[in-house]
Amino acid sequence: MAKPIKLRRRGQAGTLYIVRGVPVRYRPVEARKEVWICLDTDSKILGDAKAPQVWENTVAGWQAKLDGNTEDAEKAFEAAQRLAKARGYSWLTAHQVAKLPREELLERVEAVTKVNGAPDKLEAAALLGGAATPPITVSRALELYWDYAAEKTRGMSDDQVRRWKNPRMKAINNFIDVVGNKAIAEITRDHMLDFRDWWNKRIEKEAMSPGSANKDIGFIESTLRLVEEKKRLGIVFPFGKLTFKEDDDDDHKRPSFSEKWIAEKLLAVGALDGLNAEARAVIHVMVNTGARPSEIVGLLPDHIHLDHNVPHIEIKAEGKKTKNKPSRRVIPLVGISLEALRKFPNGFPTYRFKDKISDTIGKFLRENGLLETEEHTLYGLRHSFEDRMLRAKVDERIRRDLMGHSLGGRQRYGEGGSLEHASELLEAIAY
């Protein structure tokens, strides 16, 4: 049970004060054994209402001082920010404090507690921005980023988190290899231009995609900006105009398989016999649903509805995170896709939530001459499904709903085409 807060009056005006002993743990940062804290009121009712918050802020200030009395630069900096807040001030760097109007600047100076006639060093650092910016390196920034960006991975499976982290780690490692593991406050425009030049050479000599370079640059910017924001470091990063122009025709777009190739090569008798049964079924499901490989292997048993009057699958965020909101959808099962899931009514546990299916199937198709061109990948089946719907003049709203695409900025109204109608349309183009 919390100890009641004792209030006393002082002086003719009868102003109320909190009178309380200083807890032993805070004696290293508070020389007084008993403190009188002014509540700026003579009203007992108002004083009783204000006292708990004032006392809480006082204790928070002592705790921040205690935490700031350390050689750990990061902890000391965070403690200075908390101390400023506990004293009722927003954290500002020394440069920002110097730009304050004269009255606000003097108010901060006068608010610094005096100890034996001298300003309290920790309070001065907190209220006047004197706390040194901690030398957070690029690699340390990435460690902090994982915690600060945790909300971005909410709902993801372990494998999705791993795949979300990997390109960010690659980008940071690339940056460190080029400019070194510098303190982020020391990163200059030249460092960023050096990194861009390094990528420019890779694009030219290794036929790398400008998009790959832009992703690296984007990951570095987003990582450092979030750490700066959360830490309130006051750093202005030298970003801007670093990305490369990507070709409008996108040479790296994955082409769709032709209907002839699907029928005579991929679905030819015995063509997929060397592939394990689950992976073979994933291909068959993909042919008539256009679902992404990760969506198919992520299906849980209760996402597969074979006994419904219209057999279908549900793509939903359960056990994993969907790519975006439109990706959550219902797709009718027809033709070989329906046959495949009747063989695997509980889904594909070998590949569920694991980043293996595309590599496994891609390697098999490549080694067995089942890719229509060198540019083709497994994803070509998804594009082929969309092309077949387009040629069959399936309504755009239904196509987008089945593919899990947005409506191009338009609001989704109604339920779109019924499951029965969508099933009839797909039956007409099914294998």
Domain edge (last residue) among 216, 231, 246 = 231
Do 177 and 268 share a structural domain?
Answer: no
Q: Minimum mean pLDDT among 136-145, 341-350, 402-411: which range?
A: 402-411
pLDDT at 252 exceeding the cut of 50:
no
pLDDT at 19 exceeding the cut of 80:
yes
In a domain, residue 185? The reply is yes
Do 163 and 29 share a structural domain?
Answer: no
Token pair recorded at residue 328: 């959550």
In a domain, residue 298? The reply is yes
Do 402 and 268 share a structural domain?
Answer: yes
Q: Which domain holds residue 395?
A: 259-427
Q: What is the pLDDT of residue 318?
A: 66
Do 400 and 294 share a structural domain?
Answer: yes
In a domain, residue 132? The reply is no
**How many domains is the chain partitioned into structurally?**
3
Do 23 and 103 share a structural domain?
Answer: yes
In a domain, residue 99? The reply is yes
Q: Minimum mean pLDDT among 140-149, 359-368, 407-416: which range?
A: 407-416
Q: What is the pLDDT of residue 409?
A: 46
Tell me the mean pLDDT in the region 61-86: 70
Do 182 and 98 share a structural domain?
Answer: no
In a domain, residue 240? The reply is no
Domain edge (last residue) among 72, 92, 127 = 127
Of 66, 83, 77, which is closest to residue 132 (Cα–Cα)?
77
Do 268 and 313 share a structural domain?
Answer: yes
SS (H, E, C) the chain: CCCCCCEEEECCCCEEEEEEECCHHHCCCCCCCEEEEECCCCCHHHHHHHHHHHHHHHHHHHHHHHHHCCCCHHHHHHHHHHHHHHCCCCCCCHHHHHCCCHHHHHHHHHHCCEECCEECHHHHHHHCCCCCCCCCEHHHHHHHHHHHCHHHHCCCCHHHHHHHHHHHHHHHHHHHHHHCCCEHHHCCHHHHHHHHHHHHHHHHHCCCCHHHHHHHHHHHHHHHHHHHHHHCCCCCCCCCCCCCCCCCCCCCCCCCCCHHHHHHHHCCCCCCCCCCHHHHHHHHHHHHHCCCHHHHHCCCHHHEECCCCCCEEEECCCCCCCCCHHHCEEEECCHHHHHHHHHCCCCCCCCCCCCCHHHHHHHHHHHCCCCCCCCCCCCHHHHHHHHHHHHCCCCHHHHHHHHCCCCCCCCCCCCCCCHHHHHHHHHCCCC
In a domain, residue 151? The reply is yes
Model pLDDT for residues 132-155, shown as the tens digit of each residue: 767 788 998 999 999 999 988 888
Do 333 and 276 share a structural domain?
Answer: yes
Q: Are 25 and 54 in contact (CB under 8 A)?
A: no
Q: What is the pLDDT of residue 313?
A: 94
In a domain, residue 350? The reply is yes
In a domain, residue 35? The reply is yes
Domain edge (last residue) among 78, 107, 127 = 127
The CATH number given to whatever domain includes residue 343 is: 1.10.443.10
Do 395 and 324 share a structural domain?
Answer: yes
Confidence tier at 253 by pLDDT (50, 70, 90): low
The model carries a pTM of: 0.50
